[in-house]
Structure 1
């Protein structure tokens, strides 16, 4: 069945959801949500005659594996009851898997062999590829999207021969990159910006073998300082469990299932051994100072190299350390994460910024002092119900008067922002607003029952 983006069932579903947001959070927030939910469908997604769907990020005419998944996040709660939305998600999954079948090292693709590139002088000149920055999350996000679609709807039509081949490729590639020196992957760009290319003739900084899998670039598309990105490894471990489920229950491929599950355990073990470190000294969110005494304050590092290099920070882009309960629920250590969260949401994280309008996690990818709405939404979604209400109000007040979420904004001046149209941020705002509405409805039902 070919999805129609403005199918009446879809528009009715989304407008009813926006009405629930209005009831919980007011007319303006509900209007922002309705506009964003409809805009993503009409302005970022193009349906192909082959039954796939191409998704641009907003102001960049390319499809990222990460963004095209996260842009769909608020719709996933409806796919079990709205078949046309499930059809749309399936069409996106098919395109994602076709892209990875073409080049599993690329992070962003064109809508066909257009020859468009971020930088025409990159090593990769494939006309299908916008950019070939290898990022672990580019493999993991499509897997988790396909798994969510299957679990929510029971449909298995996306798991065709191409999908089976891609799931094997993903597992094999993550294994190859456990020992990066054996990999043929290189990325070089003629630039003076060090985060836009890889050192050592395109191989990246040196790493030792840890059991984790290597990544050239972060979810921000910036080069990794150290090759083992911890949140990306835990996200990959979660995705490998999903591959194991699919291989067992759908594809009848016991060998793939066993390999994926074993690799998941290896990644988690590698993170536990090399990626959990003493918290840095410095102020934390409760105002205390942590001297990182032995046995206290153990946190997840953001990146390590297995040779002694450790980077303690967090980035706004997901997978992030802050997002682990959302993207790696079955493989993260909650106690370590709670210590990590306290550090991430404090000045001990060099990319935590505070101003007169907002405080939150930013990124070295954008200007200092700028907070990311994506990170604010993640902070709230992994926090308390009170956090969610507070941050939702904050995001609605810091849109710079545009009615849209942006990549980042100045913590003291929300009218100074980057990327006027960033669909991922819109979707995370919608996800947060819908979560607040769901919780408000739950409270209402509980009061109704107790009142009866």
Structure 2
């Protein structure tokens, strides 16, 4: 049955939630859920070796099975690698939605980037994704998702009703800061691993500079900028107030983000974790400009903006925690109003260390994370099946596996990590895959059976545990 994000699918056109009966027979036999080799979209010997190496270390057969299914899921099912104008070209769909999100595609290939140095095919595939993302950004830096054919109209039913400037090639045009941060981060990771300059050509440089100018445009110091967005919908978080410009703000140097990484509209226009992500990714792209291209001017421009946004965050986004301490707000407006919450979608407050936007040992981050993983966060969910952070995107009674995975990856407390592994094992509903969300009391009710972002995160979590906490993988849960 089709399962979609709230505002998509082309095929379904409406929200549906999977409700499946538990599958004890499947769970007992642990039959691989991967496609046959002939049907896999992209084959990598190094990924297969890594899969076998790590799986052999996992004592719990069910967790080993989930890892086997999830770790290669992006390569098995979502990658379309080829060439365009003589350059590598890779399009990566998000899973059950036939479109490429800049954010999702970047994270989907992240579990494999450390293997690129010795795998030329894998390196070429990621090279192609960097090139495709650059071309997408040049089509429209305000779009968050794109279709495969750059000359085609959106294939998402909901987008046909959007009051915004929909250019050919764009699938959805929800302005989210992180949509431009993730490609910068991916470019930096590629450069750090490979030291290969070839993806960073004139097209890439033009797109990277456009990211910086778009961020400056969305500081809105001299006016509201060109971006507006409205949708004819019954769901308020799918559209923007004030003629599509979004909620009011005082211009303090922070970057406006109209939507969160969940694709829900912000309450206040300065999304703090996204601005923190902008700081870290701007500094990363500056290194690529300077080291791969020898472009000190572009590097300095990105660093100057990072410094400005960081100073504005320190001045306007640290708020009282109600216990005598200080924490990061989730959203602010520059007038002194703020919202404390957290959403499972990364960039989140809890997930800041995963995107190099905070040090996990920083006391400010630790206080923020503790508050986010508590009933002080309106989207913290506690249920019979599991507890964790959810999102307004799917409702108040849904836990997102992404948040549980993030908790396991950030924590150094083995008891916490064990609890996360138990919860993830208990809530995949016998499918062998992670999902967007599941009901806090009944994980057989879940959304999105094919969501490669979170599958990849599960695989990356297990790979990290194999390095940092191998004894935890030697246990049964």
Contact 1:24 / 1:440 at 8 angstroms: preserved in 2? no
Q: Output the TM-score relative to the length of structure 1.
A: 0.90
Residue matched to 1:195: 237
Aligned to 1:46: 80
Say what the alpha-carbon RMSD is for the aligned residues.
2.0
In the TM superposition, residue 125 of structure 1 has moved relative to its aligned partner by 3.0
Of 193, 201, 204, 1:163 maps to 204
**Deviation (angstroms), 1:25:** 4.1
The unaligned stretches of length 5 or more in structure 1 are: 280-290, 445-452
Q: What's the CA shift string for 1:267-317, capped at 9, x where partnerless? A: 1111111110001xxxxxxxxxxx43xxx3200000000012211000000
Corresponding position of 2:369: 341
Give the alignment of 1:118-157 within 5 angstroms. 118-122=158-162, 123-157=164-198
Give the match for residue 71 of structure 1.
108
How many Å apart are 1:441 and its aligned residue? Answer: 4.7
2:450 equivalent among 421, 424, 427: 421
What count of residue pairs does the alignment treat as equivalent?
425
Identify the residue that residue 449 of structure 1 maps to in structure 2. none
In structure 1, the residue corresponding to 2:105 is in which secondary structure? helix
Distance 1:142 1:246 in 2: 12
Asked if 1 retains the 8 angstrom alpha-carbon contact of 2:71 and 2:458, the reply is no
User: Is 1:34 matched up with 2:68?
Assistant: yes
User: Which residue of 2 is the match for residue 448 of structure 1?
Assistant: none
Distance 2:201 2:240 in 1: 35
Structure 2 SS opposite 1:167: helix
1:114 aligns with 152
Distance 1:322 1:418 in 2: 22
1:250-289 counterparts in 2 under 5 A?
250-279=292-321
- The corresponding residue for 2:26 is none
| Aligned-pair CA distance for 1:22 | 3.7
In the aligned structure 1, how far is the partner of 2:282 from the partner of 2:209? Answer: 10
Match of 2:24 in 1: none
Determine whether 1:99 maps to 2:136. Answer: yes
Give, in whole Å, the separation in 2 of the partners of 1:245 and 1:351. 36
- 1:396 lines up with 2:425 in the alignment: yes
Partner secondary structure for residue 160 of structure 2 = coil
Given the two structures, how large is their TM-score scaled by the length of structure 2?
0.85
Of 306, 317, 320, the residue aligned with 2:334 is 306
2:289 aligned counterpart, secondary structure: helix
Instruction: Give the corresponding residue for 2:3.
Output: none
Contact 1:399–1:406 (CA<8 Å) still a contact in 2?
A: yes
Q: Whose RCO is larger (CA < 8 A, sep 6+)?
A: 2
Give the Cα separation in 2 of the matches to 1:119 and 1:385: 44
Q: Distance in 2 between matches of 1:38 and 1:335?
A: 36
Secondary structure of residue in 2 paired with 1:49: strand
Q: Deviations over 1:229-278 (max 9, x none)?
A: 00000101111101211121122222211111111011111111111000
Are the aligned partners of 1:392 and 1:432 in contact in 2 as well (CA < 8 Å)? no
Q: 1:311 to 1:268 in 2, by over 3 A?
A: same
How many Å separate the matches in 1 of 2:360 and 2:141? 25
| Corresponding position of 1:411 | 440
> Map of 1:354-369 to 2, 5 A cutoff?
354-369=382-397
Contact 2:224-2:245 at 8 Å conserved across structures = no
1:328: Cα distance to partner?
Answer: 2.8
For residues 118-144 of structure 1, the C-alpha deviation after alignment (integer angstroms, 9 at most, x for no partner) is: 321212332311111110001000010
Aligned-partner Cα distance in 2 for 1:145–1:46: 18
- SS of equivalent to 2:408: helix
Give the conservation status (yes or no) of the 8 Å contact 1:21–1:434: no
Gaps of 5+ in 2: 1-39
- Deviations, residues 314-365 of structure 1 (Å, cap 9, x unaligned): 0000000011112134689922111101100100001011111111000011
Q: Distance in 2 between matches of 1:198 and 1:315?
A: 19
Contact 2:254 2:313 in 1 (8 A): yes
